[in-house]
Amino acid sequence: MSEQRVLLIVGGGIAAYKALELTRLLRKAGVAVRPILTAAGAQFVTPLSLSALAEDRVYSELFSLTDEAEMGHIELSRSADLVVVAPATADLMAKAANGLAGDLASTTLLATDKPVLMAPAMNVRMWEHPATRRNLAVLKADGVAFVGPDEGAMACGEFGFGRMAEPQAIFEAIMARLAGPAPRPQLGPLAGRRAIVTAGPTAEPIDPVRYLTNRSSGKQGYAIAEALAALGCEVTLVSGPTALRAPAGVRRVEVETARQMLAACQAALPADLAVCVAAVADWRPAQEGAVKIKKGTDGPPPIALVENPDILATLSAPGPGRPRLVVGFAAETNDVEAYAQAKLQRKGCDWIVANDVSIEGTMGGDDNAVSIVTGQGVERWDRTAKSEVAARLAARMAQELS
């Protein structure tokens, strides 16, 4: 699904050759690598080898018409999830610590709002020099993370700290950062509980290039996953394709089709709580063409549809594995509460959170006006932010499970 991206700045040092192996490891793990090679770096590795391994072009000049036309330095600094400097030479560290911006690498470091990881590499005396110590302290205070340097024999014949960390160690430091912070310690009213939350649309393939989907943004489901996690719950978020980042402390499983979503939910059982927020496509094309359907002379092709499994109804079915509380959503344009009551019966869930999508700005927007329909009656909540709806709902669920 959404590919993670590293902007890799390769500075000038004998360790630059290790940046090639690092690039290979990242690509193998499915991480996109966009390289910036400094002028000094280009003395040690060629743009061609870096570009071939990264499967992207190499950026190197600040005042290059082609570089700026294709992707300006500001865009470069924003186009990544993480900026990695390997090797981070004494010169690059000094520039970054002092906010200098005389070349593409340093300008990018000054312009970025993304986390930065540096793998220093330099002679041991340079590493131990008070100027480098100062720069290191400043960069750490600015939030830059470091991996290495290691102690060992150096290319210059000396021994000590300054050798760049091995590519495998830098790779692991990158992957740990891309995975986000470790889940928070489980404290709160839902500590020890497990929840499954479905979110986003599903995409149902017609052929290798076309699919059926809907306008769900996933915002409400993601906000609920985040709110449950904030109460200490262990959350599996089963998400269709969205543009959203996984909330901190939540395990996200990315799927495309309704059938994949159901399988992922079933794999995440047992759970105390299931919240089905996803806008699952009710139907899918009966046949997924193995090749792209071509325009023929017979007019548009008929697309036969078959029904998708109902995830909410499946999770609500009575049985030993049923979560204690199963909550569904109902997006309606009219007769909201009457339809929600009917849906509660039909799907066999415990609550339906009904929202009126005829209100402009609800689909894809940040606000939601919902009614909570339970076996006991209906509760209407005023229109408020989706994050607020999520927090109130999570608190209600925690109360129900206590």
Contacts (Cβ under 8 Å, ≥6 apart) of 27: 33, 53, 54, 55
Rounded to a whole number of angstroms, the minimum distance from the CB of residue 289 to ligand CTP is 22
Rounded to a whole number of angstroms, the minimum distance from the CB of residue 398 to ligand CTP is 20
Rounded to a whole number of angstroms, the minimum distance from the CB of residue 164 to ligand CTP is 49
Query: Using the rule CB under 6 A, is 53 a contact of ligand CTP?
Result: no
Q: Rounded to whole angstroms, what are the CA distances from 255 to 120, 171, 258, 265, 283?
A: 39, 26, 8, 10, 16
Rounded to a whole number of angstroms, the minimum distance from the CB of residue 372 to ligand CTP is 13
* The one among 9, 54, 80, 311 contacting ligand CTP by CB under 6 A: 311
Q: Considering only residues 317-346, where is the footprint of ligand CTP by CB under 6 A?
A: 328-331, 343
Between 22 and 312, name the residue whose CB sits nearer to ligand CTP.
312
Contact indicator for 135, 93 with CB cutoff of 8 Å: yes
| Residue in 156, 233, 276, 349 annotated catalytic | 156
Between 313 and 401, name the residue whose CB sits nearer to ligand CTP.
313
- Residues that bind ligand CTP (rule: CB under 6 A) add up to a total of 16
CA distance 239 to 222: 9
Query: Using the rule CB under 6 A, is 351 a contact of ligand CTP?
Result: no
Coil, strand or helix: which one is 251?
A: strand
Contact indicator for 70, 83 with CB cutoff of 8 Å: no
Task: Check if 156 is active-site.
Answer: yes
Between 62 and 244, name the residue whose CB sits nearer to ligand CTP.
244
Rounded to a whole number of angstroms, the minimum distance from the CB of residue 335 to ligand CTP is 11
CA distance 331 to 71: 41
Backbone angles phi, psi at 16, to 5 degrees: -55, -30
Query: Using the rule CB under 6 A, is 117 a contact of ligand CTP?
Result: no
Rounded to a whole number of angstroms, the minimum distance from the CB of residue 274 to ligand CTP is 9
Between 7 and 357, name the residue whose CB sits nearer to ligand CTP.
357
Contacts (Cβ under 8 Å, ≥6 apart) of 379: 371, 372
Binding mask 274-293 for ligand CTP (x = CB under 6 A): --xxx-x-x-----------
Nearest CA among 332, 342, 401 for reference residue 369: 332
Nearest CA among 167, 118, 138 for reference residue 109: 118
Between 20 and 276, name the residue whose CB sits nearer to ligand CTP.
276
Of the candidate spans 59-67, 175-183, 272-280, 370-378, the one that interacts with ligand CTP by CB under 6 A turns out to be 272-280
Between 165 and 278, name the residue whose CB sits nearer to ligand CTP.
278
CA distance 368 to 89: 51
Nearest CA among 73, 19, 82 for reference residue 46: 19
CA distance 118 to 13: 14
Query: Using the rule CB under 6 A, is 67 a contact of ligand CTP?
Result: no
Query: Using the rule CB under 6 A, is 12 a contact of ligand CTP?
Result: no
Buried b (16+ CB within 10 A) or exposed e, 144-181: bbbbbbeeeebeeeeeeebbbbbbeebbebbeebbeee
* The one among 7, 118, 312, 370 contacting ligand CTP by CB under 6 A: 312
CA distance 127 to 164: 11
Between 132 and 341, name the residue whose CB sits nearer to ligand CTP.
341
Give the active site residues.
Answer: 156
Name the residues that contact ligand CTP, by CB under 6 A. Answer: 198, 258, 276-278, 280, 282, 308, 310-312, 328-331, 343
